[in-house]
Amino acid sequence: MTAYVINPPVETMVPVEGGGQFPVRRIYCVGRNYADHAREMGADPDREAPFFFSKPRDAVATRPEVAYPPATQDLHHEVELVLALGAGGSDLSPERAKMLIYGAAVGVDLTRRDLQAEAKKTGRPWDASKGFDQSAPIGLIRPGQSPESGEISLSVNGETRQSGDLNQMIWSSAEVVSHLSTLFRLEPGDLIYTGTPAGVGPVVSGDRVEAIVSNLPPLRFTLI
């Protein structure tokens, strides 16, 4: 029997619609996967190869209250379709990659935009701007294939901030998984945040956020 020298970390879980828990292994995120968002961030949206960054698995937030992080004056919301993988593999075709998807959920990539801007300016890593505590709110995972079209939107205190359609993604869900599998061996338990449409903007403590993606269970939380 293994003798731990400290208490092992608590496993990160995301509830599944209908019951059960999805254990999280890694969180991958895709940057600039909607043309309008690429433009608002000052980039060329002409189907450049997707690029990825990551968040630690304990960035997951599933409760109705999310803590506003320290060390920022400019916290931004980014609504995203999240893929939950039930199988693994590497160097996969889009057709094979699609078969890895266990289910999908609504997620929000919270970003300390001021720290990200400073990191970009100085050529430093984005970790502090993207991978902080509770920076990856996520709703219930619905088992089955992920939607390929339908509304993706986010409102703050009842006011719509982001609005688009999943069919506006530059790289489809299957293509995102395929590209990612050329960089990492994917495994069951991986979550993939697939990008956000235009309209990202600031939120403050006390704001009520509602995120919708197609017919998936909506995600609602309040910043405290």
The C-alpha R_g of the chain, in whole angstroms, comes to 17
Residue 6 placed within a domain: no
- The residues that bridge with 79 in the sheet, in sequence order, are 108
Rounded CA separation 16/189 (Å): 13
**Number of domains forming the structure of the chain:** 1
Tokens of 203: 């939120």
Q: What is the pLDDT of residues 140-177, one digit of tens each?
A: 999 999 999 999 999 999 999 999 999 999 999 999 99
Tokens of 88: 């693994």
What are the DSSP E strand ranges found in 48-147? 51-55, 60-61, 65-66, 75-77, 79-85, 101-108, 111-112, 136-137, 142-143
Residue 93 placed within a domain: yes
Q: Which helix (H) or strand (E) holds 221?
A: strand 219-223
Average pLDDT of the chain, as a whole number = 95
- The residues that bridge with 37 in the sheet, in sequence order, are none
pLDDT for residue 134 is more than 80: yes
Identity of the residue numbered 38: A
Please tell me the predicted confidence (pLDDT) of residue 212.
98
Please tell me the predicted confidence (pLDDT) of residue 45.
65
Please tell me the predicted confidence (pLDDT) of residue 36.
77
* Phi–psi pair at 108, nearest 5 degrees: -130, 125
Residue 7 placed within a domain: no
Domain with 199 in it = 13-223
For residue 161, what is the domain's CATH number? 3.90.850.10
Residue 193 placed within a domain: yes
Residue 109 placed within a domain: yes
Rounded CA separation 203/161 (Å): 11
Please tell me the predicted confidence (pLDDT) of residue 77.
98
Residue 4 placed within a domain: no
Assign 163 to helix, strand or coil.
Answer: strand
Residue 170 placed within a domain: yes
Please tell me the predicted confidence (pLDDT) of residue 43.
62
Assign 168 to helix, strand or coil.
Answer: helix
Rounded CA separation 113/118 (Å): 9
Residue 188 placed within a domain: yes
Q: What is the pLDDT of residues 37-96, one digit of tens each?
A: 666 666 666 667 889 999 999 999 999 999 999 999 999 999 999 999 999 999 999 999
